[in-house]
Amino acid sequence: MKLEPIAKNVFYVGVNDTSRKMFDAFLPLSEGTSYNSYLIEGSEKTVLIDTVDHIKSEELLKNLKQVKKIDYIVANHAEQDHSGSLREVLKKYPEAKVLTTAYCKSMLIDLLHIREDSFELVVENQEVSLGDKTLRFIFTPWVHWPETFSTYLIEEKILFSCDFFGAHMSNKNIFVSDNESENVIKQAKIYFAAIMMPFRELIKRNLEKVNSLELEMIAPSHGPIYKNPELILNAYQSWTTGENKDKVLIPYLSMHGSTEVLVRDLEKKLRAENIEAVVVDIEKEGMLGIVEHLVDSRFVIVGTPTMLNEAHPLVVLTMNVIRLLKSKIEFVGIIGSYGWGGRTIETIENALGDMEKEYFEPIMIKGLPKTNDLDEISKLIEKIISKIENN
């Protein structure tokens, strides 16, 4: 690949990973991902911003084929999908110094065994001159690890934000194009929910810092680059500070179809009341269909059969994830089917832990629901409507 310019003497040298189907062994990827790396050629110094996952080292080095010298490699984040090729890059460019913070350095030594003498440490707002271009380091902790920071290229007004503002997509286009912006924001929302949401409060502070910069571009480390930074900044603003919607998320699983009868009745009746309902079959979709709705749903009604005395283990796992991601769900209902008895409700409540929320009366039906069992669903809808009306 030739160097792909994104601004004068600034190049995209990242790689796509179209075959990756899962991230962090929990989030299914519908569009693969990319590991973005950028090269900046100043009049005196050349810098590489982040590297790529170890499995793509060779491709990165191929992209850098015509680059004779690298003076610095900025490591904005110690995670292996961005720093995993540091060793290979340092091997090819042994004179390069890794510019990073003391915290990130210690993590890079722990995680990747980078040699102690490879580093040059930077502090918040420090500027490093590349000749006609200048880097400034903007500390943006907890997006999504404690050591994360961003790098601002002052003259070009580009923020290299690493995982902050990222989206798991392989890049057909390096820049967000008008006709794909809706999908990019959807993918960025999934990414936000799965990766950033647990740190929502800290992200608000980081957003303020970013908003105070003059920006022409935001160049994250996954997914396309924003030439219109407002697009992603406004989206992050609403995901971190916006109101919840009167939306009912219904994650469910049904081994033999009985729980599904309740779920479909609930969905039909909610729609009849013009209430937004998002039904997700956990078995088929896993977390992918769920996470983006955890950002802004007020209601979760979970559907589960009883299995081995408890809620189905995949449903329990999903509830654990809802707790860990610190969603702002306000109301929870449990519906499902059982054969003879068990601690289904208790296992769901335990998995959701001490999240602030109010429970509706659960609806557990023995076997296949009968017509009069569905009256219970109508009563649940009335309770949901009352919560919406009394908001």
Ligand X SMILES: Cc1cc2nc3c(=O)[nH]c(=O)nc-3n(C[C@H](O)[C@H](O)[C@H](O)COP(=O)(O)O)c2cc1C
Which residues of the shown chain bind ligand X in the complex (CB under 6 A)? 254-259, 305-309, 337-342, 367
**Shortest Å, Cβ 351 to ligand X:** 17
Cα distance between residue 358 and residue 339, in whole Å: 27
Cα distance between residue 283 and residue 280, in whole Å: 9
Residue 328 has which token pair?
A: 């702002």
**Shortest Å, Cβ 362 to ligand X:** 14
The nearer residue to ligand X, 163 or 265, going by C-beta atoms, is 265
The nearer residue to ligand X, 16 or 259, going by C-beta atoms, is 259
**Shortest Å, Cβ 339 to ligand X:** 3
Cα distance between residue 121 and residue 97, in whole Å: 9
**Shortest Å, Cβ 323 to ligand X:** 23
Backbone angles phi, psi at 144, to 5 degrees: -135, 10
**Shortest Å, Cβ 280 to ligand X:** 15
Cα distance between residue 57 and residue 20, in whole Å: 15
Cα distance between residue 146 and residue 222, in whole Å: 19
Helix (H, G, I), strand (E, B) or coil at 337: strand
The nearer residue to ligand X, 167 or 307, going by C-beta atoms, is 307
The nearer residue to ligand X, 69 or 256, going by C-beta atoms, is 256
* Cβ-contact 36, 217 below 8 angstroms: no
Q: Among positive and negative, which fits the CA dihedral 30, 181, 239, 164?
A: positive
**Shortest Å, Cβ 262 to ligand X:** 8
The nearer residue to ligand X, 203 or 250, going by C-beta atoms, is 250
**Shortest Å, Cβ 261 to ligand X:** 8
Q: Which amino acid is at 358?
A: E
Cα distance between residue 337 and residue 223, in whole Å: 41
The nearer residue to ligand X, 104 or 316, going by C-beta atoms, is 316
Which element (helix H / strand E) includes 351? helix 344-352
Cα distance between residue 229 and residue 216, in whole Å: 7
The nearer residue to ligand X, 241 or 309, going by C-beta atoms, is 309
The nearer residue to ligand X, 75 or 348, going by C-beta atoms, is 348
**Shortest Å, Cβ 347 to ligand X:** 11
Cα distance between residue 307 and residue 326, in whole Å: 26
The nearer residue to ligand X, 195 or 307, going by C-beta atoms, is 307
**Shortest Å, Cβ 338 to ligand X:** 4
**Shortest Å, Cβ 381 to ligand X:** 20
CA 197 to chain centre: 8
> Rounded to whole angstroms, what are the CA distances from 325 to 7, 80, 144, 342?
36, 21, 12, 27
The nearer residue to ligand X, 158 or 282, going by C-beta atoms, is 282
344-352 and 313-324 helices cross at what angle (nearest 10)?
20
Which element (helix H / strand E) includes 89? helix 86-92
79: nearest Cα among 262, 281, 221? 221
